[in-house]
C-alpha cells in the first residue's frame, strides 16, 4: 500500500466517478437513479481510500508524508508534488467524510439536472482534496481557485430565488482576493525560483517583501475565512445555496482561508505575521461580537447559522495567531469541529426546508411534538455549536481561549463573550423552531426524519461526540506539525530580531 | 465502585432516553430508579470508608485533552469533600427519582423526564469527582444543560422556554468567568490539575501578573474569576435572576436541581478551591459580602411572594448566601455541612410543596389555598419539619449547621465577619417569618380555593410519601449525626485535609463565642414565627394594611428589587437593538453598499459610459484611435528616453 500514490488516488478518484456518470445513457429516470448511485459509491470509495491516510499516518513527525513527485513543467521549478502533514491530513479526511453526506443530502431534494449536480459535487471533491494535498504553490493555486467553479455553479444553478446576486457577490469577493494571491505567487516564484512548498517554507523572504506578500495573501485568505468586514458574501451564499452546497461551504470551503494562513502566511512570512497579529486579533474579536449580535436578530435560519460561522471562524483566526501550542491546535480542532457541526446544522435546516420549503424561523414552532428524533439530533448539534463540554465544539474553544490568554488576556476575554452570545442566539433559534405550541396547520403534518436522513446524521453524531469525549487521536496527529510550526516561527523571529538588533548596533 | 456510582445514572439515562418508547413507562422508571438507588447505596459506603477509614484516592479513567503542557484527564478524585457530595447528591437524587414516579404519573413524556433526571445526576457526579478544572467544567456545563432541559420540560409553555433560556444564558455569564479562570490558572500554574495547583498555591501568594492591561495579584484575580462562575451557578445576587424563574420546571426538578444539588455546585467549587482562596483575603472578603448580601436580599423578597414554589426558591437563594459567607470567613466545613443538611430539608420542602400542588389540582398560588391541613396530614407534618429545620430551631438539622455558620462569622473577628453575622441574623428572622407565612397561608385559615378543587384535595400516594419520610429522617437527624465529623471535634480526622485552613481556624473560634451569639438565632427565629402567627392567623387584615402603608417598599419587594427590569433595559434590549443596527446599517448599509454592491454599480455605470462611445460613427472611432496612438507613442518615447 505504501508505494501507491495514495494522495493522487484520493484526489482523482471522484473524477473516475464523473467519467462513469458521463457515460450513463438511457431515459431520464435511469440517468437520475444511476448518477445518484454512482456519486454515492464513488464518494464512499474515496472516503474508504482516505481512511488509509488516517491509519497510515505517522504521528510524532512533522515531515510531509505520502509524498509524491512528478515533473510537470520541467526546468521551471514548478512540479506536481503532493503530500500531507498533521495540519492538512485531517482536512483531507473532513472533505472525503462530508462529500457522501452531501450526496445523500441532495438525494431527493435535487430534482432538476441531477446528473450535472452529482458531477459538480465530485469535481468539487477533487478540487478540495487536491488543495489540501498540494505541495506546490502553483498546484495549490489551481485547486484553490478550481474549488470556486463548481461551488459557483452549485449556487447559480440549484440555488434559491436570489441565487444570481449571491453567486455574483461570492465571485466578486473571492476574485479580488485571488488576483492578489496570484501576484504574491509570482513574486515568491521570482524571489525563490520555485513554487515548491517545502522549499518555500525554508526560504527567508526579506522583511519589506514579507509585508507586501502577507497583505496580498491576506486579501485572499481573509475573504475565504471569512473575516470581518469581508464576510457579507457568506450569509447570501449560504441562503441561496442548496443544502448540500451550504454543508460543503461551511464544512470545507471556510477552512481554506485558515489553512492558507497556516500553510503560507505564518510559516513563510513569520516577520510580517508577527507584525500583523494585532490586526488579526482586532478583526477577529470584532467578528466574534459583531456577528454574534447580528445572528441574534436573524429571521432566516440559514443566515443565522452563517453569521454564527463567522463568529466561530473568528475563534480560529485568533487561535492561529496566538502562536502557542494550545492556540494553534485549538484553531485546527475548531476548524474540524466547525466543519462537522456547522455542516450538520445546515443539514438540520435542510431537513425541514425539504418539508416546508421555507427557511423563515417564524413559520415553524413546536416541531418537537411531531419530530422528536429530529429535535434530539438538532439539540445535539446546537449544543456542539454552543461549545458544550463533551462535544467537539468545546475542545477547540477551550484551547483557543487557553492559548489566547497566554499572549493577550483582553483578546481572550473578548473572545470568551462569544460563549454567552453564542448560547443566546442558538437557544433562541432552537426555541422558536423546535419548542412551543404546535399550532401551524402545515407544520402539523411534517414527518420525522427518514432512514436516509438518519444515515446522513449518524456519522456526524458519532464524530461530534468522539471528538468531544476522546479527542486524543486527532490531537496526536496535529501535535508534531504544530510544534514544528511554532518552533520554526520562533526561530525565524529570533533570527530577524538578531538581525535588526545588529542593524541598530551599526 | 466509584466508577459505578458515577456511570450507573448515565446508563439509566441512555436506556430511558433512547429506548423510552420501547420499554414504556414502567420500564423507564425501573432503568433509571434502580441504578440510582444502587448508586446511592454505594456512595454511602464510599462516604463511610473515605470519611472514617482509608482516606482519599483517585481513579484515572483515560486521557481527554493533552496539548503541549496542558493536560486534562477523565478521572474520579474522591476525598471527603467529594464523598460528602456523592452521598448527598445520589441520595437526594434517588429519592427524587422515586417521588417522580408518583408525581409525573400520567405525563406522556415520563421516560424523557426520568432520563433527564438521571442524566443530570451523572453530570453532577462528574462535577464533584473531577480531579481537574476542565472535567469540573464538563460537569458544570452538563448540569446546566440538564437544568435547561428540565426547566423547559413542558416545552409548549412559552414561560417555561423563556425561563430555560434565561437559566442557560445567565449561567453562561458566570461560565465566562469560570473559563477565563481556567485559562488564568493554566497561565499561572501551567496545569489544570487540582493537586498540582494546590501544591504550588503557597508560592503564588503575593505574586502579581499582567492581565487585562494592568498588573494584578495572581491568586485574587483567579479566585474572583472562578467566583463569578460560582455566582452564576449558585444564584448569588446579580446573577440570581434565573433561579426563581426556574420554578417553571416540574417540582421534583426544583427539589433536586434548584435546591439540593446543582445550585450548591458553586459552594462546592469554592470549597474545592479553598487552597487558593485561603491565600487571598480580598477574594474571601468578596465571597463573604456577596453571600451575606444575598442571604438578606433573597429573604426580603421571599417574604412577599405568593407562589409557594417561588417562596422556597428565594429561600434557597438566601440559604446559599449563608453557605457563601461561611466560605468567605474560612469556615469551609460549616458551609459544606449546611450544604448537606440544606439538601435534605430543602428537597423535602420542595417535594412537600409538590405534594400540596398535587393535592390542589396544580394550584401554586398560596392566595388560593388555605384550610387544607386536615386533608393532607402527612404533607402538613412534613412541611412543619422542613420549616423547623430551615428556621434553625434546636434539634432539627438546620439548627446545627446554620448556628455554626453564624458563630463562625462572629468568630472571624473581622469587619466582614461582623457584616455577615448581622445580615445572617436578620435573614434568620425573615426566614422564620416567610416559612410560617407559607405554612399558615397554605394549610390554615379559611379555604380560598373553589369548591371543585377543595373536593379533590387528597393526600399523595405512598410512592411520593415514602421519599418524603426518608428525607424527614435526614432533616431531623442529619445535623445531630454529622455535627461532630463536619464541624465538631472529629473534623480534622474526617476531612483529612480536603479543605484548606491557613492560619486560625474560624470553626475553632466558633466554639468559643459569647452565649448571646448562640442564642440570638434561636431568639430571632422564634420572633419570626410569632410575627407570622400574628399577621396570618390572628390579625389577618394587617398584611394588606402594611402593603398599603408602604406601597413603594411593597412593590419594590414584590418586583424582586427590579433586577429583571433593569437587566432587560441594560442588556437584553440593547443587544437586540445593536444586533439589528449592525445588520441593517453595518452589513447592508456600509459594507455591502460600498463593497460589492458599490463596485457592481460603478462597473455598470462605467460600462454604460463606454457603451455610449460605441456610437457607430467612423470619425468617433478614428478620433479615439488617434488619441490612443498619441498616448502610446509618447509613453514609448518617454520610456525609451528614461532607459537611456
Burial of A111 (0-12, 13-18, 19+ CB in 10 A): exposed
Cβ-based neighbour number of residue B175 at 10 Å = 26
For A360-383, letters b (16+ CB in 10 Å) and e give ebebbbbbbbebbebbbbbbbbbb
pLDDT at A293: 92
Burial of B617 (0-12, 13-18, 19+ CB in 10 A): exposed
| Least CB–CB distance from A405: residue in B65, B134, B180 | B180
Q: Are A423 and B169 a contacting pair at CB < 8 A? A: yes
Cβ-based neighbour number of residue B607 at 10 Å = 10
Q: Please check the confidence at residue A55 and state whether its pLDDT lies above 50.
A: yes
Report which of A374, A369, A373 is spatially closest to residue A351, judged by C-alpha positions. Answer: A374
pLDDT tens readout for residues B495-534: 888 888 877 788 888 888 888 888 898 999 999 999 999 8
Residue A302 forms part of a structural domain: yes
pLDDT at A1: 45
pLDDT tens readout for residues B170-220: 999 999 999 999 999 999 998 889 999 999 888 888 788 887 778 888 889
Report which of A158, A150, A211, A161 is spatially closest to residue A184, judged by C-alpha positions. Answer: A211
Percent over 70 (pLDDT), chain A: 99
| pLDDT range class, residue B554, cuts 50, 70, 90 | confident
Residue A491 forms part of a structural domain: no
Helix (H) or strand (E) holding B555: helix B551-558
Highest mean pLDDT among A169-178, B298-307, B632-641: B298-307
Backbone angles phi, psi at A79, to 5 degrees: -145, 170
The Cα B233–Cα B175 span in angstroms is 8
Q: How far is B156 from chain A (nearest CA, A)?
A: 4
Quick check: A293 and B582 in contact, CB under 8 A?
A: yes
Quick check: A221 and A320 in contact, CB under 8 A?
A: no
Helix extents (H) in B234-331: 242-245, 251-255, 265-272, 274-277, 281-302, 308-328
The Cα B287–Cα B285 span in angstroms is 5
Residue bearing the bigger pLDDT, B623 or A121:
A121
pLDDT at A2: 54
- Chain B residues with beta carbon closer than 8 angstroms to that of A172: 596, 599-600
pLDDT tens readout for residues A318-368: 999 999 999 999 999 999 999 999 999 999 999 988 888 888 888 888 888
Q: Please check the confidence at residue B107 and state whether its pLDDT lies above 90.
A: no
B605: left (phi over 0), alpha (psi -120 to 50) or beta: alpha
Half-sphere exposure of A198 (CA within 13 A, CB side): 16
Helix extents (H) in B444-505: 451-456, 462-486, 491-495
Quick check: B306 and B442 in contact, CB under 8 A?
A: no
Residue bearing the bigger pLDDT, A193 or B126:
B126
User: If DSSP codes are grouped into helix, strand and coil, which group holds residue B76?
Assistant: strand
| Residue corresponding to grid cell 427518514 | A450
Backbone angles phi, psi at A354, to 5 degrees: -60, -30
Of B121-135, B169-183, B399-413, B561-575, the one with minimum mean pLDDT is: B561-575
Residue A423 forms part of a structural domain: yes
* Residue B75 DSSP symbol: E
Residue A77 forms part of a structural domain: no
pLDDT at B139: 93
Quick check: B115 and B20 in contact, CB under 8 A?
A: yes
Question: How many residues are there in chain B?
Answer: 644
Q: Please check the confidence at residue B639 and state whether its pLDDT lies above 80.
A: no
- Chain A residues with beta carbon closer than 8 angstroms to that of B586: 290, 294
- Chain B residues with beta carbon closer than 8 angstroms to that of A296: 575-576, 579
Q: How far is A129 from chain B (nearest CA, A)?
A: 27
**Which residues fall within 8 angstroms of residue B430, CB to CB, at 6 or more apart?**
B296, B299, B300, B302, B303, B318, B528
| Residue corresponding to grid cell 429530529 | A374
Query: What mean pLDDT is predicted for residues B276-296?
Result: 92
Quick check: B369 and B442 in contact, CB under 8 A?
A: yes
- Chain A residues with beta carbon closer than 8 angstroms to that of B134: 389, 398
The Cα A235–Cα B403 span in angstroms is 60
Q: Which three cell numbers stand for residue B60?
A: 484515572
B113–A contact, CB cutoff 8 A = no
Would the CA dihedral through B89, B95, B101, B103 be positive or negative? negative
B579–A contact, CB cutoff 8 A = yes
Q: List Cα–Cα distances, A455 to A379, A419, A446, A449, in angstroms.
A: 17, 31, 19, 10
Range of the domain at A399: 276-469
Query: What mean pLDDT is predicted for residues B601-628?
Result: 78
- Chain A residues with beta carbon closer than 8 angstroms to that of B145: 383, 388
Q: Are A290 and B169 a contacting pair at CB < 8 A? A: no
pLDDT at B543: 81
For B215, nearest residue in chain A (alpha carbons): A409
Q: Are A420 and B173 a contacting pair at CB < 8 A? A: yes
Which pairing describes strands B208-211 and B214-217: parallel, antiparallel, or unpaired? antiparallel
- Chain B residues with beta carbon closer than 8 angstroms to that of A298: 583
| Residue corresponding to grid cell 390579625 | B539
Residue A474 forms part of a structural domain: no
Mean pLDDT score of chain A: 88
What pTM did the predictor assign?
0.91
pLDDT at B644: 45
Helix (H) or strand (E) holding B641: helix B618-643
Query: What mean pLDDT is predicted for residues B90-97?
Result: 93
Residue A374 forms part of a structural domain: yes
The Cα B101–Cα B463 span in angstroms is 7
Paired with A73 in beta bridges are A78
For A415-451, letters b (16+ CB in 10 Å) and e give bbbbbbbbbbbbbbbbbbbbbbebebeebeebeebee
Q: Please check the confidence at residue A149 and state whether its pLDDT lies above 70.
A: yes
Residue in A228, A307, A389 to test binding to B, most B beta-carbons within 10 Å: A389
DSSP per position, B419-435: HHHHHHHHHHHHHHHHH
For A480, nearest residue in chain B (alpha carbons): B68
Q: Are A410 and B176 a contacting pair at CB < 8 A? A: no
Q: Which three cell numbers stand for residue A12?
A: 482523482
Cβ-based neighbour number of residue A487 at 10 Å = 11
For B587, nearest residue in chain A (alpha carbons): A232
| Residue corresponding to grid cell 472562578 | B226
pLDDT tens readout for residues B429-457: 999 999 999 999 988 888 888 888 888 88
B603: left (phi over 0), alpha (psi -120 to 50) or beta: alpha
The Cα A286–Cα A222 span in angstroms is 14
Of A3-7, B69-73, B178-182, B576-580, the one with minimum mean pLDDT is: A3-7
Half-sphere exposure of A98 (CA within 13 A, CB side): 34
pLDDT at B500: 81
Residue A171 forms part of a structural domain: no
Percent over 90 (pLDDT), chain B: 42
Q: Which three cell numbers stand for residue B512?
A: 468559643
Task: Establish whether the linkage from the previous residue to B545 is cis, with ω within 30° of 0.
Answer: no
Highest mean pLDDT among A461-470, B105-114, B567-576, B621-630: A461-470
Half-sphere exposure of A206 (CA within 13 A, CB side): 4
Of A397-406, B19-28, B159-168, the one with minimum mean pLDDT is: B19-28
Q: Are A232 and B148 a contacting pair at CB < 8 A? A: no
Percent over 90 (pLDDT), chain A: 38
Diameter over CA atoms, chain B = 116
Backbone angles phi, psi at B72, to 5 degrees: -145, 120
B616: left (phi over 0), alpha (psi -120 to 50) or beta: left
The Cα B447–Cα B539 span in angstroms is 17
- Chain B residues with beta carbon closer than 8 angstroms to that of A481: none
Backbone angles phi, psi at A3, to 5 degrees: -85, -10
Q: Are A470 and B212 a contacting pair at CB < 8 A? A: no
Residue bearing the bigger pLDDT, B361 or A375:
A375
pLDDT at A91: 93
The Cα B501–Cα B278 span in angstroms is 7
Residue window 59-88, chain B: list those with CB within 8 Å of chain A.
Answer: 62-70
Cα-trace Rg, chain A: 22
Q: Are B596 and A173 a contacting pair at CB < 8 A? A: yes
Q: Which three cell numbers stand for residue B493?
A: 480526622
Quick check: A257 and A222 in contact, CB under 8 A?
A: yes
User: Looking at the 3D structure of chain A, how many domains does it have?
Assistant: 1
Quick check: A297 and B583 in contact, CB under 8 A?
A: yes
Cβ-based neighbour number of residue A107 at 10 Å = 17
Cα-trace Rg, chain B: 31
B605–A contact, CB cutoff 8 A = no
Query: What mean pLDDT is predicted for residues B8-37?
Result: 89
Report which of B239, B435, B402 is spatially closest to residue B331, judged by C-alpha positions. Answer: B402
**Alpha carbon A53 to chain centroid, angstroms:** 19
The Cα A202–Cα B327 span in angstroms is 57
Q: Which three cell numbers stand for residue B589?
A: 448599509
User: If DSSP codes are grouped into helix, strand and coil, which group holds residue A153?
Assistant: helix
pLDDT at B641: 56
Residue A202 forms part of a structural domain: no
Q: Are A402 and B586 a contacting pair at CB < 8 A? A: no
**Alpha carbon B201 to chain centroid, angstroms:** 27
Q: Please check the confidence at residue B642 and state whether its pLDDT lies above 60.
A: no
Cβ-based neighbour number of residue A294 at 10 Å = 28
Amino acid at each position: 500500500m505504501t508505494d501507491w500514490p495514495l494522495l493522487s488516488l484520493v484526489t482523482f478518484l471522484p473524477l473516475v466517478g464523473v467519467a462513469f456518470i458521463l457515460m450513463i445513457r438511457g431515459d431520464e429516470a435511469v440517468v437520475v437513479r444511476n448518477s445518484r448511485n454512482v456519486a454515492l459509491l464513488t464518494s464512499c470509495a474515496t472516503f474508504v481510500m482516505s481512511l488509509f491516510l488516517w491509519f497510515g499516518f505517522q504521528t510524532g513527525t512533522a515531515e510531509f508524508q505520502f509524498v509524491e513527485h512528478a515533473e510537470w513543467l520541467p526546468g521551471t521549478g514548478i512540479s506536481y508534488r503532493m503530500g500531507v502533514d498533521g495540519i492538512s491530513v485531517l482536512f483531507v479526511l473532513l472533505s472525503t467524510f462530508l462529500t457522501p453526506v452531501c450526496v445523500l443530502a441532495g438525494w431527493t431534494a435535487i430534482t432538476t439536472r441531477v446528473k450535472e449536480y452529482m458531477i459538480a459535487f465530485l469535481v468539487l471533491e477533487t478540487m478540495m482534496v487536491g488543495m489540501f494535498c498540494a505541495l506546490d504553490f502553483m498546484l495549490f493555486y489551481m485547486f484553490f481557485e478550481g474549488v470556486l467553479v463548481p461551488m459557483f455553479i452549485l449556487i447559480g444553478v440549484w440555488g434559491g430565488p436570489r441565487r444570481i446576486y449571491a453567486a455574483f457577490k461570492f465571485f466578486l469577493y473571492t476574485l479580488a482576493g485571488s488576483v492578489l494571491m496570484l501576484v504574491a505567487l509570482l513574486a515568491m516564484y521570482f524571489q525563490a525560483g520555485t513554487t515548491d512548498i517545502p522549499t518555500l517554507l525554508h526560504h527567508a523572504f526579506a522583511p519589506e517583501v514579507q509585508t507586501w506578500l502577507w497583505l496580498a495573501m491576506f486579501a485572499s485568505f481573509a475573504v475565504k475565512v471569512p473575516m470581518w468586514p469581508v464576510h457579507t458574501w457568506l450569509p447570501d451564499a449560504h441562503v441561496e445555496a442548496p443544502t448540500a452546497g451550504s454543508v460543503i461551504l461551511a464544512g470545507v470551503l471556510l477552512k481554506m482561508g485558515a489553512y492558507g494562513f497556516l500553510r503560507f502566511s505564518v510559516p513563510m512570512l513569520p516577520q510580517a505575521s508577527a507584525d500583523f497579529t494585532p490586526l488579526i486579533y482586532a478583526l477577529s474579536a470584532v467578528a466574534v461580537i459583531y456577528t454574534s449580535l447580528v445572528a441574534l436578530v436573524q429571521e432566516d435560519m440559514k443566515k443565522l447559522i452563517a453569521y454564527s460561522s463567522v463568529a466561530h471562524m473568528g475563534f480560529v483566526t485568533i487561535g492561529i495567531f496566538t502562536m502557542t501550542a494550545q492556540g494553534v491546535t485549538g484553531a485546527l480542532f475548531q476548524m474540524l469541529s466547525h466543519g462537522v457541526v456547522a455542516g450538520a446544522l445546515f443539514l438540520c435546516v435542510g431537513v425541514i426546508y425539504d418539508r416546508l420549503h421555507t427557511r423563515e424561523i417564524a413559520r415553524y414552532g413546536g416541531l418537537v411534538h411531531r419530530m422528536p428524533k429530529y429535535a434530539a439530533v438538532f439539540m445535539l448539534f446546537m449544543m456542539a455549536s454552543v461549545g458544550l463540554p463533551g462535544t467537539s465544539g468545546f475542545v477547540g474553544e477551550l484551547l483557543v481561549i487557553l492559548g489566547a490568554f497566554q499572549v493577550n488576556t483582553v483578546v481572550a476575554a473578548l473572545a470568551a463573550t462569544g460563549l454567552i452570545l453564542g448560547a443566546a442566539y442558538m437557544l433562541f433559534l432552537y426555541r422558536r423552531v423546535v419548542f412551543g405550541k404546535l399550532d401551524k396547520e402545515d407544520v402539523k403534518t411534517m414527518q420525522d426524519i427518514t432512514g436516509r436522513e438518519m444515515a446522513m446524521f449518524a456519522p456526524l453524531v458519532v464524530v461530534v461526540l468522539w471528538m468531544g469525549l476522546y479527542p486524543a487521536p486527532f490531537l496526536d496527529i496535529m501535535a508534531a506539525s504544530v510544534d514544528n510550526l511554532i518552533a520554526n516561527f520562533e526561530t525565524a523571529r529570533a533570527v530577524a530580531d538578531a538581525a535588526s538588533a545588529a542593524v541598530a548596533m551599526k | 465502585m466509584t466508577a459505578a456510582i458515577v456511570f450507573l445514572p448515565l446508563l439509566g439515562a441512555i436506556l430511558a432516553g433512547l429506548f423510552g418508547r420501547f420499554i414504556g413507562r414502567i420500564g423507564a422508571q425501573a432503568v433509571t430508579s434502580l441504578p440510582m438507588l444502587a448508586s446511592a447505596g454505594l456512595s454511602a459506603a464510599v462516604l463511610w470508608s473515605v470519611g472514617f477509614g482509608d482516606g482519599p484516592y483517585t481513579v484515572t479513567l483515560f486521557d481527554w485533552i493533552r496539548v503541549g503542557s496542558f493536560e486534562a484527564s477523565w478521572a474520579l478524585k474522591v476525598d471527603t469533600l467529594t464523598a460528602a457530595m456523592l452521598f448527598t447528591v445520589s441520595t437526594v437524587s434517588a429519592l427524587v427519582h422515586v417521588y417522580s414516579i408518583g408525581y409525573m404519573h400520567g405525563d406522556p413524556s415520563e421516560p424523557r423526564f426520568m432520563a433527564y433526571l438521571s442524566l443530570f445526576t451523572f453530570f453532577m457526579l462528574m462535577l464533584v469527582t473531577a480531579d481537574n478544572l476542565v472535567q469540573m467544567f464538563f460537569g458544570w456545563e452538563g448540569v446546566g444543560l440538564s437544568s435547561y432541559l428540565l426547566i423547559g420540560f413542558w416545552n409548549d409553555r412559552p414561560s417555561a422556554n423563556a425561563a430555560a433560556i434565561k437559566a442557560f444564558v445567565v449561567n453562561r455569564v458566570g461560565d465566562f468567568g469560570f473559563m477565563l479562570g481556567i485559562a488564568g490558572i493554566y497561565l499561572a500554574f501551567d496545569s489544570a490539575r487540582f493537586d498540582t495547583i494546590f501544591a504550588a498555591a503557597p508560592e503564588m501568594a503575593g505574586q502579581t501578573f499582567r492581565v487585562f492591561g494592568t498588573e494584578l495579584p495572581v491568586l485574587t484575580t483567579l479566585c474572583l474569576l472562578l467566583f463569578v462562575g460560582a455566582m452564576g451557578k449558585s444564584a448569588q445576587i446579580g446573577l440570581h435572576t434565573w433561579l426563581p424563574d426556574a420554578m417553571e420546571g416540574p417540582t421534583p426538578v426544583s427539589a433536586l436541581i434548584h435546591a439540593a444539588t446543582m445550585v450548591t455546585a458553586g459552594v462546592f467549587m469554592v470549597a474545592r478551591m479553598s487552597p487558593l482562596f485561603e491565600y487571598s483575603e480580598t477574594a474571601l472578603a468578596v465571597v463573604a459580602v456577596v453571600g451575606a448580601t444575598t442571604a438578606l436580599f433573597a429573604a426580603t423578597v421571599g417574604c412577599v411572594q405568593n407562589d409557594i414554589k417561588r417562596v422556597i426558591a428565594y429561600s434557597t437563594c438566601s440559604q446559599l448566601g449563608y453557605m457563601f459567607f461561611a466560605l468567605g470567613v474560612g469556615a469551609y466545613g460549616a458551609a459544606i455541612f449546611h450544604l448537606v443538611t440544606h439538601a435534605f430539608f430543602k428537597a423535602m420542602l420542595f417535594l412537600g410543596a409538590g405534594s400540596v400542588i398535587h393535592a390542589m389540582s396544580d394550584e401554586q398560588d398560596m392566595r388560593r389555598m388555605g384550610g387544607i391541613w386536615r386533608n393532607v396530614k402527612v404533607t402538613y407534618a412534613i412541611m412543619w419539619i422542613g420549616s423547623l429545620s430551615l428556621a434553625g430551631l434546636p434539634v432539627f438539622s438546620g439548627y446545627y449547621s446554620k448556628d455554626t455558620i453564624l458563630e463562625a462569622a462572629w468568630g472571624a473577628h473581622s469587619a466582614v465577619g461582623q457584616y455577615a453575622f448581622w445580615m445572617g441574623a436578620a435573614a434568620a428572622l425573615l426566614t422564620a417569618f416567610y416559612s410560617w407565612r407559607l405554612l399558615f397561608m397554605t394549610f390554615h385559615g379559611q379555604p380560598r380555593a373553589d369548591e371543585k378543587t377543595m373536593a379533590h384535595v387528597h393526600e399523595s400516594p405512598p410512592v411520593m410519601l415514602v421519599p418524603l419520610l426518608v428525607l424527614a429522617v435526614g432533616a431531623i437527624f442529619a445535623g445531630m449525626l454529622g455535627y461532630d465529623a463536619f464541624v465538631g471535634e472529629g473534623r480534622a480526622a474526617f476531612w483529612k485535609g480536603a479543605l484548606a485552613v491557613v492560619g486560625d481556624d474560624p470553626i475553632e473560634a466558633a466554639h468559643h463565642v459569647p452565649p448571646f451569639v448562640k442564642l440570638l438565632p434561636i431568639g430571632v427565629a422564634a420572633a419570626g414565627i410569632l410575627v407570622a402567627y400574628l399577621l396570618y392567623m390572628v390579625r389577618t387584615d394587617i398584611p394588606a394594611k402594611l402593603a398599603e402603608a408602604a406601597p413603594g417598599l411593597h412593590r419594590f419587594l414584590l418586583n424582586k428589587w427590579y433586577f429583571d427590569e433593569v437587566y432587560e433595559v441594560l442588556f437584553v434590549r440593547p443587544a437586540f437593538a445593536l444586533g439589528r443596527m449592525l445588520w441593517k446599517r453595518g452589513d447592508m448599509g456600509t459594507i455591502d453598499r460600498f463593497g460589492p454592491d458599490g463596485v457592481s454599480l460603478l462597473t455598470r455605470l462605467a460600462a454604460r459610459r463606454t457603451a455610449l462611445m460605441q456610437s457607430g460613427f467612423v470619425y468617433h472611432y478614428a478620433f479615439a484611435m488617434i488619441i490612443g496612438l498619441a498616448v502610446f507613442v509618447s509613453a514609448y518615447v518617454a520610456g525609451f528616453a528614461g532607459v537611456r
